[in-house]
Homo-oligomer: A and B are copies of this chain.
Amino acid sequence: MSGTTGPVPSFAGYQSVIGHLQSALPHNGTRTSLITSIIPSLLHSIAQIAQILRDSHVISAQGTANSFGDDQLNVDVLAENAIRAAIQHYCPSVITASSEEHPAETPVPGDHHGPDPSTSEQYTLAFDPLDGSSIIPSNWAVGTIIGLWDGTTALNQAPATKQVAAILGVYGPRTTAVLAIRLPGSASKGICLELALATSSPGGSGGHTETWTVSNPNLSLATSSSGPKTRYFSPANLRAASSDPAYSSLISGYIQHEYTLRYSGGLVPDLVHALVKGHGIYLSPVTPNHKAKLRRLYELLPVALVMECAGGKAVDEKDGTAILEREVKGEDERGGIVCGTEAEVEKAMEVLLGKGSE
């Protein structure tokens, strides 16, 4: 468990991100805690999870279990602890939290003994500490998904206005993060940034500095008028196409029209690929034989906010309604999704709903 707690970070290496958010968000004065404490704390836990994953051979070697399955669980638990510790130690305004590992909303114990007197902000955190465990053994990029809600619960709330921020941690050759924020009352679609972590170990100090910078201030899925050079598709749950003629015909259409396939099987890397390339469509349909696996609260709602803030679209594949339109009634609710570049989502939904052919 070492490494998941520690001294209060100074966040000295976070100032450029904090400064960027303060100028990008109007009326940020009412969101002091969000900008100066919660987001830096969560980015700090993402840096810690990156380190946990990098050391996970050692974890395996020291663990009591021999099978990789149990070792994975170990990494999941450490990732969960890193995020729980961050909000417990540094974020008095996060009142409630739940995660895919512990899918029940509970009060955050808090070292701080009561709400932060300097702010009236109150938030609820819903997170998937480590998404993509099936591809951890093969050393593929994986991610963390975090949704942040106004108020003391995420249940039975209007996601479109109450889920105010989402963070995706991306653990690949580098450590990066995608941050989306859309505050209620703001007329804009929201902001969507890519952040990059740099760590350095100053000689002789025994410590290290952790610096996050804004590597892309505007991740955008909005297609330029000339159209994208390369079009990408990412078909999850592809086995469903064996019993779903509409999905099968959609896939054939992408191949026929020479879309480029990129599908890692990790929700975070698959969506981040589209965001970084500026184009892409991700599909995860559901059939009677291929049930929904993605959790609405811990996966679908945060990524839907990211997609919308980047100018893209995220809809329920059953009826084409926006993912963010429907409230979450329970922590274990699951569903399908089609998301990415708006025009691609619309074309795909026409095929999936039987109104057109690709």
Give the interface SS of chain A, mostly helix, strand, loop or mixed: mixed
The complex places the Cα of A57 from the Cα of B242 at a distance, in Å, of: 42
Do residues B263 and A54 form an inter-chain contact, with CB atoms below 8 A? Answer: no
Q: Are A261 and B277 in contact (CB under 8 A)?
A: no
| A174 CB contact (under 8 Å) in B139, B196, B265 | B139
Type the 1/0 row for A51-73, where 1 means its CB is closer than 8 Å to any CB of B.
00111111011000000000000
Contact status B235-A258, CB under 8 Å: no
Q: How far is the CA of A139 from the CA of B272 in the complex (A)?
A: 8
A172 touches B (CB below 8 Å) = yes
Do A172 and B172 touch (CB < 8 A)?
yes
* A141-B173 contact, Cβ under 8 Å, with A57-B198, A61-B213, A204-B204: yes
What residue in chain B is nearest A230 (Cβ atoms)?
A: B134
Residues in B neighbouring A255, C-beta threshold 8 A: 238-239, 241-242, 248, 251
- Choice from B50, B138, B258, B263 contacting A263 with Cβ under 8 Å: B263
Can you identify 18 A-B contacts, CB atoms within 8 angstroms?
Answer: A54-B173, A56-B173, A57-B196, A58-B198, A60-B215, A135-B262, A135-B273, A137-B277, A139-B272, A140-B264, A141-B141, A171-B173, A201-B208, A204-B205, A242-B256, A242-B258, A248-B255, A261-B263
